[in-house]
Amino acid sequence: MAGFGQKNKNQKNTRSSKSHKKAEEFHKQALEHHKDGDLANAEKAYRESLESGYLHPNALLNLGVICQNSRRPEEAISLYKQSLEAKPGNPDIHMKLAHIYKDLGKFDLALSSLLKSLVLRPNNSIAHLNLGSLYKDLGQLDQALEATLKSLELRPDNSNAHLNLGSLYKDLGQLDQALEATLKSLELRPDNSNAYMNLGVIYKALGQLDQALDATLKSLELKSDNHTAHMNLGWIYKDLGKFDQALEATLKSLELNPDNYTAHMNLGSLYKNLGKLDQALEATLKSLELNPDNHTALMNLSGIYTDIGQLDQALDATFKSLKLKPDNHTAYMNLGSLYKKLGQLDKALDATLKSLELKPDNHTALMNLGWIYKSLGQLDQALDATFKSLKLKPDNHTAHMNLGSLYKNLGQLDKALDATQKSLELKPDNPEALLILESLYKEEELPKLKLAALKAIDVCPESLVCPNFIEFLSSLGEDFTLKALQPNAQLH
Share of the chain above pLDDT 90, in %: 74
Rounded Cα gap, residues 145 and 136, in angstroms = 8
Mean pLDDT value across residues 429-457 = 66
Computed over its alpha carbons, how large is the radius of gyration of the chain? 33
Count Cα atoms within 13 angstroms, Cβ side, for 287: 25
pLDDT higher than threshold 80 for residue 489? no
For residues 178 and 147, the answer to whether their CB atoms sit within 8 Å is: no
**Burial bucket for residue 327 (CB in 10 Å: 0-12, 13-18, 19+):** exposed
- Tens-digit pLDDT profile for residues 40-75: 998 998 898 888 776 788 889 999 999 999 999 999
pLDDT higher than threshold 70 for residue 300? yes
pLDDT higher than threshold 70 for residue 150? yes
For residues 424 and 437, the answer to whether their CB atoms sit within 8 Å is: yes
Question: Which pLDDT value is given to residue 420?
Answer: 87
Left (φ > 0), alpha (ψ -120 to 50) or beta: where does 53 sit? left
Question: Which pLDDT value is given to residue 173?
Answer: 95
- Tens-digit pLDDT profile for residues 216-230: 999 999 999 999 999
The mean of the pLDDT values for the chain is 89
pLDDT higher than threshold 80 for residue 332? yes
**Burial bucket for residue 469 (CB in 10 Å: 0-12, 13-18, 19+):** buried
pLDDT higher than threshold 50 for residue 424? yes
